[in-house]
Structure 1
Amino acid sequence: MSRRRWVGGQDREILRLAVPAFVALVSEPLMLLADSAIIGHLGTPQLAALGVAGTVLQTIVGICVFLAYGTTSAVARRIGAGDHRGALAQGIDGLWLALLLGVVLALAGVVFAPQAINAFNPSPDVAEYAVTYLRISCFGIPSMLILLAATGVLRGLQDTKTPMVVAISANLLNIVLNLLLVYGLHLDIAGSALGTALVQTAAGVALVVVVVRGARRDGAKLTPDLPGILASAQMGVPLIVRTLTLRAAIILLTFVATSLGTTSVAAHQVAFTFWNFLALALDAIAIAAQALTGRALGAGDVAGTRSITRRMMWWGLWSGAVCGLALWGLRAVYVPWFTADPDVRRTLAAVLLVAAIWQPLNGVVFVLDGVLIGAGDGRYLAIAGVAALLLYIPLALSVLWLDGGIVALWWAFGGFMLVRLLTLVTRERGDAWLVTGATR
């Protein structure tokens, strides 16, 4: 086979996994956007309450993203090794772990909802609505985590289309159900929380049915397996640490931005909204990287792993460049949607230029992050994440101490991503992460 045909085959496989993954990833913020639009017409206190409660809920679920990432890696390895039954058994263990963890977190959320909301120091009317929304939403946490784990199983099986179809269907159902409960039955913000929880449950059940059907077909055991569940939990610990370092860096970015004045924080909010959206686009390639890397290493194909990794790095670089050009080139189109304040627009333009410059680097970072997750190299990712965060903290705080301004802060955040790039490229150049076989 010629090199051109070989590379073309790689590109088609990357696109086959990445495009549906992107659509599924985008569905989550779109669902939150729909909830915001529906609740926003109820009143300002309700909309503010959604912001506070949604932050708590997204933090809980975000920390548990290892249920998707870790499961993708483990299942893909076994698929590469030709062990379909073992792959589905690994996936079932992940589902049981998600259920157990979800029940614990849901109970904790219901009990400690007032304390979690009051930590944001909202006004009494906002706090009341937020506690109501959070407590009802907590009943959907087990379903949300099961949805993560089931999505991870299907990605490991090289199937990103099924999660995409379920995500699109869930978004449409969420709009209909929320309108019915909020305005038809006049349940106010509680109706939105209930509707979203029910939709998440339906989506989780739909994916579980697909996974269970495959497990039965391959003869995998469906009952809980304690050693397998504990192994899945242990595998997830480094990924939790890695996720926490990313969230800590973003929280610090927002904290410093908030301290720089109203104009700066307004510009930051808009810029970060678009940065986060572009991160989802680039993360879709990382998801493809997780699935393809795990499968190749499971098959013992080190050369193939190297080849697909280098190809995906180019995909990350060029995709990041396209995202950066779009972010900067289309600013005159989308900035007026968010603000008419000339000072905010000027500040935002400077921030967007910095954000656009860093996008190609971000693309490579996300891809290599996905490659190492797919390789099961979570421990290194955790260590590298902590190192990057420790270097970033004084860099970000120095902007505050020296009154460097919001543009300097975004350069500092780019420094955090640069440190991550250096640690990831260093690892990729070596051989320690190239562990082959059905299990790491």
Structure 2
Amino acid sequence: MPSPRQLDREIWRLAVPAFLALVAEPLFLLADSAIVGHLGTAQLAGLGVAGAVLQTIVGLCVFLAYGTTASVARRIGAGDQRGALAQGIDGLWLAMVIGVLVTLPTILLARPLGQLVGADGQVIGPATTYLRIAALGLTPLLVMLAATGVLRGFQDTRTPMVAAIGGNLLNVVLNVALVYGAGLGIAGSAIGSVIAQSCAAGVLLTVVVRAALHEHAALRPDLPGIRAAARAGLALVVRTLTLRVAILATTYAVTRSQAGEAQSVALAAHQIAFTLWSTLAFILDAIAIAAQALTGRALGSGDRTTTRAITVRMIGWGVVVGVGLGLVLAAGSPLLGRLFTTDADVRHLLVAVLLIAAAGQPIAGVVFVLDGVLIGAGDGRYLAWGGLAVLLAYLPVLALVVALGGGLAWVWACFAGVFMGARFVVLVRRERGESWLVTGDARP
């Protein structure tokens, strides 16, 4: 079994580059928020609504990355590189099929989708404009997920990192040029993001295809393989759906807790806070990405002892990183608002929300790590049922907060305390058992 120091080197060798690749979507939105925020509060709030819809669609398909990482890593652990790439190619075709199927409905239903999240008045116009254009980037985003999953399964997180850095730099340049230089406003932000996402997806797709050709793995669509990939991801779709429902319900609760101008202020502050929360969460999830790859490989080779050692070590790192992120967020809470908006009311409201988010970071550290471990083990069924249980505990409390007139800070206290706390209990309970430690070259 590797020593703790060896495990640390392996974890961080994968986690550091994984972070830069994993935060591609939040960084797209973070850059967009910083640029669009100076157009006005309504535009920033509209971006928040459109971002919630896009993140829900992409989030439901996260199994394209997570499930592929686990299954490919198991094959690698068993010494079957050609089989690993064949599964990866099936995942890429599935990503393209899903992307084509969801793009047109998202464009046509952009306004109703924004209203479903709770936007109205001055917010719905910018939200609709951004969403209709940004929907064209859904297929590239899904291809990025699938290709990234394949490379992570091969213990390669550096290539996705390079694609992510390049895509985000291009996104910032295009956003500034199109929003202000060309005077396109929020539409220019969406156009820039779509172009940058397409370029990053092209780079990753090229790398995976070259590897498949080298191992003589077929590139043509394999319908049984695509169907098998879809079936294998169903449990993770349910698990992710519960997370997205909770996030959408939280955004909806913010819209219902205020009206008129106060609603725009609350939504703008919520958009900034949630974008920052998502960025920090992906830092924690980078450790979980390493867990997926290392757990899948260890179980594929039949090594349960190493799997346990990896899990314990990463839980420790999750706590340490969570505490550190919480301290940084708390210290920066009075200043971060200035990066996104000139509205004094939004900045004032944001401080309290960021302090609440900071307090929840240590719990989030454990939650994200264990989520990654169980995904790497192929324990999707438990994650799906556990997600449903958490949702049933969270939604009634959230509804009560709104009914009692709780504002944005109370909604965030409910999210950080009740939702994340319930996830913590569900995941720790599973990790302490033995049922998830299933060995073999095929994901259970």
Q: Distance in 2 between matches of 1:152 and 1:318?
A: 26
1:369 equivalenced with 2:371 (yes/no): yes
1:139-196 per-residue CA deviation (whole Å, 9 max, x = no partner) reads 3322111111001111111111111101111122223344555566666655443332
Aligned to 1:436: 439
Aligned to 2:420: 417
1:243 equivalenced with 2:240 (yes/no): yes
Aligned to 2:308: 306
Judging changes above 3 Å, is the alpha-carbon distance between structure 1 residues 247 and 299 closer, same or farther for their aligned structure 2 residues?
A: same
Q: Which amino acid aligns with 1:391?
A: A
Aligned-residue offset at 1:36 = 4.3
Deviates more, 1:30-39 or 1:227-236: 30-39
Aligned-residue offset at 1:78 = 0.6
Q: Which amino acid aligns with 1:175?
A: V
Aligned to 2:359: 357
Q: Distance in 1 between matches of 2:428 and 2:48?
A: 37
Aligned-residue offset at 1:354 = 3.9
Q: Distance in 1 between matches of 2:10 and 2:25?
A: 24
* Residue segments in structure 2 that go unaligned for 5+ positions in a row: none
Which of 97, 101, 119 is matched with 1:100 structurally? 97
Kept after mapping to 2: 8 A contact 1:365/1:421: yes
Kept after mapping to 2: 8 A contact 1:74/1:87: yes
Q: Which amino acid aligns with 2:371?
A: D
* Residue segments in structure 1 that go unaligned for 5+ positions in a row: none
1:381-428 per-residue CA deviation (whole Å, 9 max, x = no partner) reads 010000011011222223234456655544433122222112111111
Aligned to 1:152: 149
Q: Distance in 1 between matches of 2:59 and 2:112?
A: 20
Aligned-residue offset at 1:133 = 4.0
The CA RMSD over aligned residues, in Å, is: 3.0
Q: Distance in 2 between matches of 1:352 and 1:181?
A: 31
1:74 equivalenced with 2:77 (yes/no): no
1:327 equivalenced with 2:324 (yes/no): no
Larger radius of gyration: 1
Q: Which amino acid aligns with 2:301?
A: A
1:240-264 per-residue CA deviation (whole Å, 9 max, x = no partner) reads 1111211222233333344445487
What's the TM-score once normalised by structure 2's chain length?
0.87
Judging changes above 3 Å, is the alpha-carbon distance between structure 1 residues 43 and 71 closer, same or farther for their aligned structure 2 residues?
A: same
Aligned to 2:225: 228
Q: Distance in 2 between matches of 1:124 and 1:133?
A: 14
The share of aligned pairs that are identical, in percent, is 58
Aligned-residue offset at 1:353 = 4.4
Which of 282, 292, 295 is matched with 1:293 structurally? 295
Judging changes above 3 Å, is the alpha-carbon distance between structure 1 residues 314 and 33 closer, same or farther for their aligned structure 2 residues?
A: closer
Q: Distance in 1 between matches of 2:80 and 2:14?
A: 21
What's the TM-score once normalised by structure 1's chain length?
0.88
Q: Distance in 2 between matches of 1:194 and 1:404?
A: 37
Q: Distance in 1 between matches of 2:403 and 2:62?
A: 34
1:211 equivalenced with 2:213 (yes/no): no
1:344-368 per-residue CA deviation (whole Å, 9 max, x = no partner) reads 74x7655544433332121011100
Kept after mapping to 2: 8 A contact 1:46/1:126: no
Q: Distance in 2 between matches of 1:358 and 1:190?
A: 35
Aligned-residue offset at 1:232 = 0.8
Q: Distance in 2 between matches of 1:342 and 1:43?
A: 13
1:378 equivalenced with 2:380 (yes/no): yes
Q: Distance in 2 between matches of 1:354 and 1:44?
A: 23
Deviates more, 1:212-221 or 1:87-96: 212-221
What SS does the aligned partner of 1:140 have? helix
Aligned-residue offset at 1:430 = 1.4
What SS does the aligned partner of 1:139 have? helix
